[in-house]
Amino acid sequence: MYSNFPNDPTRRIPGRLLEVLAEVTGHALAPQAASRATQDAWIDPSAWVPPAVRAARLAGLKAAQFTVQTAAEITRLSRLDSPAFTLVGKRWLVLRGARHGVLDLVVFDELGEHALRMRAPGLLRWLAAHHTEPPMAWLAVEPRLMFSALSHAPTAARRLLRAFKLERRGIYVVLVYGVAMAVASLAIPIATQALVDTIAATAMLRQIVVLAVLLAITLGAVAVLRVLQILAVERIHRRLWVRGATDWIRRLAQTSRTSRRRVSNRDLSNRFLDVALLQKDFAALLLSGSSLVLVMLASLVLLAFYHPVLFAFDAVLILGIGFVVLVGLGAKSGAKREANARWDLFAWMDDVASNRLTFADPRGRALSDVRGELLLRDWLDARAGYFRRLLRHVVTGAGLEVIATVAVLGIGGWLVVAQELTLGQLVAASVLVSQIGSGVGRFARQLDPIYEAIAAVDSMGKALDADLEPSSGEVLPRLTQPLAVELQDGAGQVVLSVKPGGRTALVGASDSHSRALDLLYGLFGSTQLPDLSAWLDGREVHLLEIDSLRDQVALVRGGEVVCTSALANLVGAGWPGHPSELDALLDLVDLRPALNRLPQGMQQDLLPDNDDGPLTESEVRRLVLVRALIAAPRLLLIDLGLDRLGLSAPKRAALLDWIFDRRRPWTLVVVTDSVDSRDILARCDHQQVIRSRRSDR
């Protein structure tokens, strides 16, 4: 029925749709990138979700499906911080958000794009008029990497500004409250002026009571605004944490081989702690910093209205504030150096904690102490250099506060004597200058969170700028038959050829064999090696989409487990299989007794590498093997994963018979170096040795 739909432009996801979605989420997406993401996104109206999800992924977005049936569900969908879209006949409908219950919609059709604004019940009527009835699928979209806008910034200050831009809506609310509070703060000097003038003129109690009541109302409003401002900052605080945690979890799983060879992924994961520093600095700047600056500005403006001399005093005071800012030049670089020294120390602590044998003997402990002391001294030196520059701000700010307070009293007193100011205006001006002077002193201290935030985002940049595995490429079709494998050397000569369903052994635990398996699993990404290339079903591996490749290929190597339940280690999230399949495999590798002895059984949390967890090394190796087998891949790569399993001879024979059974859905390539590997070699169609001129492990 839809055999010709690739020639119909209405059957293709428009690139502009992805641009609109990215714009709402704050994700930078160039028109060219949007066009590339949708160039193959031809859809069948009855199955539009998978190609739409893939197009969003190629554009750096993550789509989650929701089924919407009622007006209430549409309203809940609009309250998400993410836009959503759906297909209505030949039209694409984008829900950008809602304001006061009115939905902000964009329709893409053959005539272009146009906006719609209506409430949820009206949208249901609009859908019915276009022959679409609930329930219907919607895709809610968010950036795949929440901090993608912060990546590859030219400077740390620019990166910090981008972080503020991510939270611009929340910051706008905070600033609106801050402006209202700054204006309301002028009630104190104005009320003081009125009170003094009233007492000097009439001393009527009624007027004093009225002034006191008005001042109480104003200050009460300021207190309410302060609470609302704190609530707004708390929402920003939570969003920053969620954005950062989501970004780090997704980003670290996608760091490329090149990145992992330059810097430890553990170090990159530790950089997430800078998000906590950024949260604290955001709160300080938005609460104390913004209020401070706005109150100072309001006070300066009001002071200038009292007399031209005080207006000139304002100008001198602003120059003094500029001097306070400039006197600490170099503090930004000092903050960065201190942050780098701190992270060097954290990285060393991580090394000491992770390498148990290296630091178990006296020589290792001496090394940990000597290196730790050296790094501590480096941090102390960096901290002292930064604090010296910060102290200049504080000292000059305190000096300016003293000078400004004394100067305004002297100038104001002279103006009162000259009868150019009333006594009330003098007192009000003194209150204003007291606010300004106090603000200048606090302003110098508020520069610390600015420098700290710049250093934090600069440190975060080491993770945010790390190379990632490519997300684009040719999709490897999901077929039922096993994959065909071929390896060629740099001259184009075939060094390994395995037919679909074949069983091949690479004899010897050499770097060349492990490197070949890495290449087949896509660990080299889109990098084309000069001396070795891999082909799966006639397609070059480095041109394939990583997700579609690894969905059909499994690599077993070592005993890599994560700190979560044994069940999650075995099947991951969203496993569609039946528990009986897992039970059969656990019995096959004789792992059930080990899991049964755990206090919480399958829900027992395991410990990662280099820690003494509840399972032995051989049991962990069996668990990792089951994790690959349960996925039923089309290509199973085993790098020494059948050695040192700790199984009895009958159990091992039964396991090998099951894995090598021709009814299994995979092609098998196994690397073995065990002296007891004859039982493996006997079950293989071919035995081979691959020798390459270099090793990139």
Among 128-142, 199-213, 439-453, 484-498, which stretch is predicted with the lowest mean pLDDT?
199-213
What's the first-to-final CA gap in the chain, in angstroms? Answer: 50
Location of structure tokens 């962990």: 620
In a shared domain, residues 280 and 173: yes
Mean pLDDT of 175-192: 82
Parallel, antiparallel, or unpaired for β 667-672 and 494-498? unpaired
Do the domain assignments include residue 526?
yes
Mean pLDDT of 336-340: 94
8-state DSSP, 483: P
CATH number assigned to the domain comprising residue 527: 3.40.50.300
Mean pLDDT of 527-555: 92
In a shared domain, residues 586 and 671: yes
The tens digit of pLDDT for each residue in 60-108 reads: 899 999 999 899 999 999 888 889 999 998 889 999 999 888 999 999 9
Higher pLDDT, 58 or 41: 58
Dump the DSSP string for 181-225: HHHHHTHHHHHHHHHHHHHHHT--HHHHHHHHHHHHHHHHHHHHH
Mean pLDDT of 524-537: 91
Say whether 235 sits in a helix, a strand or coil.
Answer: helix
Please give the pLDDT value at position 46: 79
Mean pLDDT of 386-414: 86
Do the domain assignments include residue 116?
yes
Mean pLDDT of 561-579: 71
Do the domain assignments include residue 430?
yes
For 109-143, give one letter per residue: b (16+ CB within 10 A) or e.
eeeeeeeeeebbeebbebbeeeebeeeeebbbbbb
* Residue 135, preceding peptide bond in cis (omega within 30° of 0): yes
Please give the pLDDT value at position 675: 58
Confidence band of 636 (pLDDT split at 50, 70, 90): very high
Confidence band of 3 (pLDDT split at 50, 70, 90): very low
The last residue of one of the domains, among 429, 464, 499, is 464
In a shared domain, residues 539 and 657: yes
Say whether 249 sits in a helix, a strand or coil.
Answer: helix
| pLDDT exceeds 70 at position 199 | no
Please give the pLDDT value at position 2: 40
Please give the pLDDT value at position 89: 86
Please give the pLDDT value at position 1: 36
In a shared domain, residues 136 and 154: no
% of the chain beyond a pLDDT of 70? 93
- Across 27-41, 315-329, 453-467, 584-598, the highest mean pLDDT is recorded for 453-467
Contact 290, 449 (CB under 8 A): no
Please give the pLDDT value at position 202: 63
576, 580, 581, 585 alpha-carbon torsion, rounded to 10°: 140
Confidence band of 343 (pLDDT split at 50, 70, 90): very high
Range of the domain at 55: 5-144
Higher pLDDT, 287 or 200: 287
Q: Which residues contact 293 (CB under 8 A, 6 or more apart)?
A: 439, 443
Summary mean pLDDT of the chain: 86
Do the domain assignments include residue 476?
no
Please give the pLDDT value at position 208: 72
Confidence band of 5 (pLDDT split at 50, 70, 90): very low
Confidence band of 571 (pLDDT split at 50, 70, 90): confident
Confidence band of 612 (pLDDT split at 50, 70, 90): low
Q: How far is CA 367 from CA 268, 271, 361, 370, 372, in A?
A: 24, 24, 10, 5, 8
Higher pLDDT, 302 or 572: 302
The first and second tokens of residue 189, run together, are 């000097």
Do the domain assignments include residue 693?
no
In a shared domain, residues 248 and 264: yes
| pLDDT exceeds 90 at position 376 | yes
49, 50, 53, 54 alpha-carbon torsion, rounded to 10°: -150
| pLDDT exceeds 80 at position 198 | no
Contact 97, 20 (CB under 8 A): no
Please give the pLDDT value at position 265: 86
Please give the pLDDT value at position 237: 93
Mean pLDDT of 580-589: 88
CATH number assigned to the domain comprising residue 217: 1.20.1560.10
Mean pLDDT of 526-534: 90
Q: How far is CA 594 from CA 280, 559, 616, in A?
A: 45, 16, 9
Please give the pLDDT value at position 357: 81
Confidence band of 389 (pLDDT split at 50, 70, 90): very high
In a shared domain, residues 455 and 500: no
Mean pLDDT of 397-410: 84
Mean pLDDT of 430-442: 76
- Which amino acid does the sequence have at 261? R
For residue 139, the cross-strand partners are 65, 85
Higher pLDDT, 443 or 448: 448
Total domains, the chain: 3
The H or E element containing residue 231 is helix 205-252
CATH number assigned to the domain comprising residue 94: 3.90.70.10
Please give the pLDDT value at position 540: 94
| pLDDT exceeds 60 at position 694 | no
Half-sphere exposure of 647 (CA within 13 A, CB side): 24
Q: For residues 558 and 625, what is the distance between their CA atoms, to the nearest angstrom? A: 9
In a shared domain, residues 26 and 135: yes
Confidence band of 692 (pLDDT split at 50, 70, 90): low
In a shared domain, residues 522 and 455: no
Please give the pLDDT value at position 196: 72
| pLDDT exceeds 80 at position 509 | no
Do the domain assignments include residue 697?
no
Closest to 626 measured CA to CA, from 636, 634, 612:
636
Q: For residues 572 and 565, what is the distance between their CA atoms, to the nearest angstrom? A: 10
In a shared domain, residues 209 and 354: yes
The tens digit of pLDDT for each residue in 8-17 reads: 555 778 889 9
Do the domain assignments include residue 696?
no
In a shared domain, residues 107 and 162: no
| pLDDT exceeds 90 at position 119 | yes
In a shared domain, residues 448 and 305: yes
| pLDDT exceeds 90 at position 355 | no
Do the domain assignments include residue 624?
yes
Please give the pLDDT value at position 304: 81
Q: Determine if residue 359 is left, alpha or beta; phi over 0 gives left, psi from -120 to 50 gives alpha, anything else beta.
A: alpha
Please give the pLDDT value at position 452: 93
**CB-count burial class (<10 Å; 0-12, 13-18, 19+) for 404:** buried
Among 38-42, 379-383, 452-456, which stretch is predicted with the lowest mean pLDDT?
38-42
Please give the pLDDT value at position 645: 87
In a shared domain, residues 130 and 164: no
8-state DSSP, 527: P
Among 239-253, 268-282, 435-449, 466-480, which stretch is predicted with the lowest mean pLDDT?
435-449
The last residue of one of the domains, among 464, 495, 525, is 464
Confidence band of 674 (pLDDT split at 50, 70, 90): low
